[in-house]
Structure 1
Amino acid sequence: MLVLTTACGQDKANDAAGSQNVGAAPAANGYGTAGTGTGADAKEEQGTAAQAQSAGQLAVADTAKLGEVVTDSAGMTLYRFDKDSAEPPKSTCEGDCATAWPPVPASGATAPVGIDKALLGEVTRTDGTKQLTIDGWPLYRFAKDTKAGDTKGQGVGGTWYASAPTGKKAASGGGGGSAADLPGLSTRNDPELGEVVVDKNGMTVYRFEKDTPWPMKSACVGACLEKWPVVEPVAAANTKGIDNKNDGRRGYVVLNRPDGLKQQSIDCWPLYTFAGDKKPGDTNGQGVGGTWYAISPEGKPLGKPK
């Protein structure tokens, strides 16, 4: 029987299956792992989300790792979501996402010294409630932050970041989100690994040695995706320093996964980030299990023992 293939050896049957969205792991959607329970746990979490408190008098906390971040009056870190938009302001976090990341009500919020009150605003959510914004970005708390000063939501799914007082992403060194200016994929010079690929948030990108490049196939499924979210497709024009050639067989192409997700590849190796990396420059996923390695611009595994 003749098997028709597409780029990197993907067969058309798999392409068809990949076009059907049959569900994605929460982390792959950038929501993290909180707020997806069932039964009593889910009811408890939903109750917590329903009791969202006003932020009150906002504050600016100076943290060692992230620089200045915005908190509510109780000292709880406030976050922004990359899949939202600021122009115009819009929240895309609903349902289970809003359970894990309770929206901050706009009512009663006031600006302290250190935050320009002109940057504070509100957006109307689909349920009619008003959500607080800074410079147009909707703000959230994180259900797994349990005490003042916690920043457990930083970098979750490669899409959630503490908000700086300007509304930009808080980042290592207090830069307030310089990673926001990065292309979809680019490189940085790591002192130990050399030139590594990073995503639009400056987070290290990895490859999995149990995957295969031809035919291109991901072996990371189910719970694996909670720790290793896929890198979504990035147009070749939105890259810098990446080997994005595509000759129709090998190169810079998109994997149509059976679970409905679409995943970017380099040299036919599917790309991932690591949930354990909390800030740009982290390489906590390097060498995990002897199968996960930061990836080079050419698709090679960096630091893999020979």
Structure 2
Amino acid sequence: MRRTKKLMPLAVGLIATLLLAGCQNGDDAESLNPASDGQQSEAEQDGYGDESKKKSDLASPTKLKVKEDAELGQIVVDDKGFTLYRFDKDTADPPTSNCDAECEQKWPPVWAGDEVTIEGGDNSRTGTLEWENGQEQVTLGGWPLYYYAGDTAPEQTNGDAMGDAWWAVSPSGKKAKDDNGAEGESGDEGAAAEEQNSAAGGDNGGGGGERQWSPGTTVLKTKKDDKLGEIIVDGEGRTLYRFDKDTADPPATNCDAECEEKWPRLMAGKDVVLDGQKVKWDGSDSEIGLLEFPDGSCQVTLGGWPLYYYAGDEKAGDIKGEGVGDVWWTVNATGKRAKDDDGSGADASADKGEGGGDAKSYGGGGGY
């Protein structure tokens, strides 16, 4: 099946700077490793240049592997251990990609070499999807495969459940999270998945079933900043932010899909630790809480305010998101804006939850 769009350049800068929209991040961002013995990396990063060199780079076999993940069970990775994903808005029969040029910046396709194999899996389930320029994307069970730019090291699965549409893939090509051997899982019907995605964008909370926790423990720490005073960072020292257009009472997000590309959400693991002490998600022993989405996934809140990373912060200790658009701010341990929480109540109007627009719509836009 030919793809009807042209190969577009990948935004390597985003791969280097995009932070984890969950609770596990690597300290040092690494370039994504492609699935063909590392030889594809330069071609994938450039996305342009000498065509003969790109073809040479893609001449090596593409080697996939089956890996056992503690949370997801069997998943598929490349030969360097980077997790591979599928997209609910694609189709498997016929194999078709609906990830456009903007999407590809965050979800680089897995390119096919002269042969595609899967160690520990069924080679007959592998295939390729031909692009307009003749380059081929690897498929599994008919589903096009992608990397996630937020996975900065092997064995990370930060892209799983992203947007309730991206999933680590099992050896059969199904979603790893719910491939228990049963045929015809709902996610493989395409239309049902898209309907679910639309529903997820229309409500901010209340949950729609069992909670879906991100892998690992959510770790938060208080840190003393020379200019801002007390601020909150994650376990690896990455700065966390709040958005004035959100609301805190009730907790609701007004950061839409475009916004989320620059401001990835801090998603919740099953357990949470604050300054070395395990606390409860219900806020009974801290200001930490949850904003639950219809799919059961949860964003971490502080004082009711949803928490985010900033993609422009390239390393731990960066605070480049402070004051962006005059609506994004670092927070202290109570969820107030660190810049003006001096105990005088100067931050009162913003901390009453008077955000901008209808937060339940994810819309409102602006400020990012």
Q: TM-score, normalization: structure 1?
A: 0.48
Higher relative contact order (Cα pairs below 8 Å, separated by 6+ residues): 1
Q: TM-score, normalization: structure 2?
A: 0.41
